[in-house]
């Protein structure tokens, strides 16, 4: 008799393996979905009760343990291998992808026309006229001066920005990026002038936001492990002591972190009070 059906073949196989440890044989029939069939109808009630528990928590360790104990390699199920590109798309929303592509495109242009030319076009502001070229308040985040600089920032942007966009929407990610780009750029310009660039001010804002939002609002579905947050702060402190070769946008990093923490605090005030 037919019990239920799954979209995910791994979930179907996990339940079959678990029921095998309980002495119940189930079969999987592949059609448009994966249908579970019960051979012994006298065990229907017991299997249905187990199925309810499985649906509530399919990733419980007991099901993985059952697959190790009773699973076989000849189940007949074939899993589609996800490409790296599809995995990136699954994690990232449209804004995450578009801004990432823009950073890559600008980096390529910098290799063709030179850093100084791109800085003249996109840096914070030139010749004391920021109000006549308002794009400069934000375009500095597209500038990266080495491949390592670009890759490091884009990995964090994808990891954190993608999570925020998927869970909280493109609008929330846009606001975080916009405000942190503006304020971190303004502060860095005060310390070093307009010759700077990079997405790291926004990345630090996302670190602060995701960490504090996860601590105060676990139901939001976004979080950053405390160990990674500690690493980010340590990296920031080391940068202030000049431990790295070349200039570091320390003011932008610190400002971005404060902005992210402040935005997360504001967004979770009502949740914390409740």
Does 140 lie in the same domain as 42?
Answer: no
Strand partners, 36: 4, 28
Does 76 reside within a domain? Answer: no
Confidence of residue 6 (pLDDT cuts 50, 70, 90): confident
Number of structural domains the chain divides into = 2
Task: State the pLDDT at residue 107.
Answer: 95
Does 248 lie in the same domain as 131?
Answer: yes
Geometric angle at alpha carbon 53, from 52 and 56, rounded to 5°: 90
CATH code of the domain containing 269: 1.20.1540.10
Does 116 lie in the same domain as 8?
Answer: no
Task: State the pLDDT at residue 79.
Answer: 45
Does 223 lie in the same domain as 151?
Answer: yes
CATH code of the domain containing 27: 3.30.70.2350
pLDDT above 60 (res 147): yes
List C-alpha distances in Å: 52 to 23, 63, 216, 237. Answer: 18, 13, 31, 50
Does 12 reside within a domain? Answer: yes
State the catalytic residues. 200, 253
Q: Output the CA torsion sign for 26, 30, 35, 39.
A: negative
Range of the structural domain that residue 244 is part of? 84-273
Strand partners, 229: none
**Per-residue pLDDT tens over the stretch 167-201:** 899 999 999 999 999 999 999 988 888 888 899 99
Final residue before a domain boundary, out of 46, 70, 94: 70
Does 51 lie in the same domain as 171?
Answer: no
3-state DSSP call for residue 104?
helix
Q: Which two tokens stand for residue 119?
A: 């800085």
Instruction: Assess contact for 119 and 197: CB atoms under 8 A.
Output: yes
């Amino acid at each position: 008799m037919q019990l239920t059906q799954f979209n995910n073949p791994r979930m179907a196989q996990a339940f079959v393996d678990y029921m095998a440890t309980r002495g119940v044989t189930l079969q999987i029939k592949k059609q448009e979905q994966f249908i579970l069939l019960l051979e012994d109808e006298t065990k229907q009630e017991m299997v249905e009760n187990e199925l309810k528990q499985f649906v509530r928590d399919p990733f419980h360790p007991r099901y993985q343990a059952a697959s190790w104990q009773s699973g076989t390699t000849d189940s007949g199920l074939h899993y589609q291998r996800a490409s790296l590109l599809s995995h990136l798309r699954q994690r990232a929303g449209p804004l995450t992808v578009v801004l990432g592509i823009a950073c890559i495109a600008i980096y390529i242009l910098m290799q063709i026309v030179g850093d100084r030319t791109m800085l003249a076009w996109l840096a914070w502001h030139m010749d004391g006229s920021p109000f006549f070229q308002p794009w400069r308040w934000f375009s500095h985040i597209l500038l990266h001066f080495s491949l390592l600089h670009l890759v490091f920032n884009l990995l964090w942007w994808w990891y954190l920005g993608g999570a925020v966009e998927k869970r909280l929407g493109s609008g929330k990610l846009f606001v975080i990026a916009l405000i942190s780009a503006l304020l971190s750029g303004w502060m860095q310009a005060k310390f070093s002038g307009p010759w700077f660039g990079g997405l790291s001010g926004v990345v630090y804002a996302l670190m602060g936001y995701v960490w504090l939002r996860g601590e105060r609002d676990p139901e939001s579905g976004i979080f950053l492990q405390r160990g990674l947050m500690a690493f980010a702060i340590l990296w920031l402190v080391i940068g202030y002591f000049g431990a790295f070769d070349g200039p570091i946008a320390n003011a932008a990093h610190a400002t971005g972190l404060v902005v992210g923490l402040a935005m997360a605090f504001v967004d979770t005030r009502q949740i914390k009070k409740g």
